Chains A and B, each alone.
Chain A
Amino acid sequence: MIIGYTTGVFDMFHIGHLNILRRAKEQCDYLIVGVSTDELVQRDKHKTPIIPFENRSAIVEAIRYVDKVVPQEDKNKFGAWEKYHFNRMFVGSDWQGTPQWEGYEKQFGEVGVEIVYFPHTDGISSTLLRELIKPNGGGTNQ
């Protein structure tokens, strides 16, 4: 059985989030999703999610592609592997080729974990949604 792992903030759940989860599940049998805690987002991105952790987790957990949700309290991916022993980790392709993730590929390769990169969905992101929500912001139809 292939255990998959992916992480995210999943603030203001949108079609981009759904696409990642669906595509991750296509490539594993059991999908664990690490949802970033409010504290981690504040430390790491210096902003507070619009939606609190509890609600963001509940929505991700209710998606049919997701088997288990765990809190992501830090950026230590190897620490997560030590806990959950996944075989495959799914990551946005914007990280591919970065020194950090080339390091991870080596480290995870040694324990038999494959890193799979997914492109993000064009035309949607939580940041963009925040803009679209503003008066005269438009919509995702455009």
Chain B
Amino acid sequence: MFHIGHLNLLRRAKEKCGYLIVGVSTDECVEGYKHHTPVVAYDERAAIVASIKYVDEVVPQTTMDKLEFLKQRHFDVMFHGDEWKGTELYNKYEKEFAQYGARIEYLSHTEGISSTMLRERING
């Protein structure tokens, strides 16, 4: 469910680049790692993201392997939530990305909002 936390990330990413591509996870991709289907279908989630002023292009994210996309399509900087900063996986990505001339910039999440929190608020 699109919320203010999502909007803030998109706005802040666009402040730091000239052309923003957003990979929206497909339903199959989400099922693969969260083991549940998103409540809102991919087409609708992608349409909403594509309608945001800060977004130049939406592509489906079919795999959680971030390097896969970089191999297909060059980008200079990938924006990601900072909870992954300093982890083994992302340290590895940083090195691999550098070989392609790309870097990672970490953005902090908006406090007090997340899809999980929203679900809890709705469920009462």
Contact = CB atoms under 8 A, between A and B. Distances in A.
Interface of A: 12-15, 18, 21-22, 50-51, 55, 58-59, 62-65, 124, 129-130, 132-135, 137-141
Contact of A134 (B2, B37, B40, B123): B123
B15 to A, nearest CB: 13
Interface of B: 1-4, 7, 10-11, 27, 37-41, 44, 47-48, 51-54, 113, 118-119, 121-123
Contact of A63 (B11, B38, B51, B123): B51
Nearest to B43: A15
Nearest to A12: B1
Interface SS of A by simple majority = loop
Contacts of B122: 12, 50, 130, 133-134
Contacts of A135: 123
B7 A58 contact: yes
14 contacts: A13-B3, A14-B2, A15-B48, A58-B7, A62-B7, A64-B52, A129-B40, A132-B39, A134-B123, A135-B123, A139-B39, A139-B40, A140-B40, A141-B37
B52 A63 contact: yes
Contacts of A63: 51-53
Contacts of B44: 14-15, 124, 140
Contacts of A64: 51-53
A63 to B, nearest CB: 5
B2 A13 contact: yes
A141 to B, nearest CB: 4
B51 A18 contact: yes
A19 to B, nearest CB: 9
A59 B53 contact: no
Nearest to A64: B53
A55 B11 CA distance: 14
A14 B38 CA distance: 13
Given A15-B48, A22-B51, A64-B52, 9 more contacts: A13-B2, A13-B3, A55-B3, A59-B3, A62-B7, A62-B10, A129-B39, A138-B39, A140-B44
Contacts of B11: 62
B61 to A, nearest CB: 17
Contacts of A140: 39-41, 44
